[in-house]
């Protein structure tokens, strides 16, 4: 199964990816997570990406495309398929992905777009907290840890707010990506791959809509 999970910042791509990987043995590849890990590890990629991600701007296409191209060649992807989260984010990336997959003799089975109103997104991002130990993501009100201040996944007690979730960065990220996402959606609609799912219901309800799509693949 090869799928793309698309949506504006805060739409629930990471949250739904966690649900999907519990039920399907697909390889979750989130470009944002890869950049954040590289920044934490202070690798050359991280040093290059930091100024873009911290300010809510897109990392240049040539860097992002190269990164995804290398990741898609790996054996786990060949064996289990991929779920790309947050890639492609420009039409140029979408075209580069098509070329890469063609050269790997692979293809996309479905593109799932999680659709959420921008005003709702602002509230979600400003309330998001991340586990400092394992990276699991929560929302202070809508999706808090089961035990207060304790990560459900790893039991750690330290949570932080992402640099790009600070209020002054959130609106910029949403506005920027609202523009760039439209031609990509049109591109996949034209290819007959696009499935729009409302992301404004509960996490479980959104997941059951996604499962409806996945069960038909």
Q: Quick count: other Cβ atoms within 10 Å of Cβ 185?
A: 16
Closest residue to ligand AP5 using C-beta atoms? 32
**Whole-angstrom Cα distance, residue 136 to residue 156?**
10
Q: Which token pair is 46?
A: 């991280």
Q: Identify the H or E element spanning 195.
A: strand 194-198
Partner whose footprint covers residue 31, from Mg ion, ligand AP5, none (CB < 5 to 8 Å by kind): ligand AP5
Partner whose footprint covers residue 65, from Mg ion, ligand AP5, none (CB < 5 to 8 Å by kind): none
For CA atoms 69, 75, 78, 84, the dihedral sign is negative
- By rule CB under 5 A, what string of x and - marks binding of each residue 13-52 to Mg ion? xx--------------------------------------
Q: Quick count: other Cβ atoms within 10 Å of Cβ 192?
A: 7
Q: Which token pair is 118?
A: 């921008």
Give min distance, CB of 217 to ligand AP5, in A.
Answer: 21
Q: Quick count: other Cβ atoms within 10 Å of Cβ 123?
A: 14
Which residue's CB is nearer to ligand AP5, number 59 or number 151?
59
205 annotated to a ligand binding site: no
Give min distance, CB of 78 to ligand AP5, in A.
Answer: 22
Residues found near ligand AP5 in the complex (CB under 6 A): 7, 9-15, 30-32, 35, 52-53, 56-59, 64, 86-89, 93, 124-125, 127-128, 137-139, 142-143, 164, 173, 199, 202-203, 206
């Amino acid at each position: 199964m090869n799928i793309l999970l698309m949506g504006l910042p805060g739409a629930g791509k990471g949250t739904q990816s966690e649900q999907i990987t519990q039920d399907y043995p697909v390889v979750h590849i989130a470009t944002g997570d890869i950049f954040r890990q590289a920044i934490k590890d202070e690798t050359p990629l991280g040093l290059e990406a930091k100024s873009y991600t911290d300010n809510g701007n897109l990392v240049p296409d040539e860097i992002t495309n190269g990164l995804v191209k290398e990741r898609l060649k790996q054996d786990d992807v060949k064996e289990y398929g991929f779920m790309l989260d947050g890639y492609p984010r420009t039409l140029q990336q979408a075209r580069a992905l098509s070329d890469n997959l063609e050269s790997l003799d692979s293809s996309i089975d479905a593109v799932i777009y999680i659709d959420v109103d921008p005003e709702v997104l602002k509230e979600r991002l400003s309330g998001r907290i991340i586990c400092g130990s394992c990276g699991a993501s929560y929302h202070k009100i809508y999706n808090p840890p089961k035990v207060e201040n304790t990560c459900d996944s790893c039991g750690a007690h330290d949570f932080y707010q992402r640099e790009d979730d600070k209020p002054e960065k959130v609106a910029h990220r949403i506005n920027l990506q609202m523009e760039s996402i439209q031609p990509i959606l049109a591109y996949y609609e034209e290819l007959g791959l696009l499935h729009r799912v409302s992301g404004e219901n509960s996490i479980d309800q959104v997941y059951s809509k996604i499962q409806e799509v996945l069960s038909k693949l």
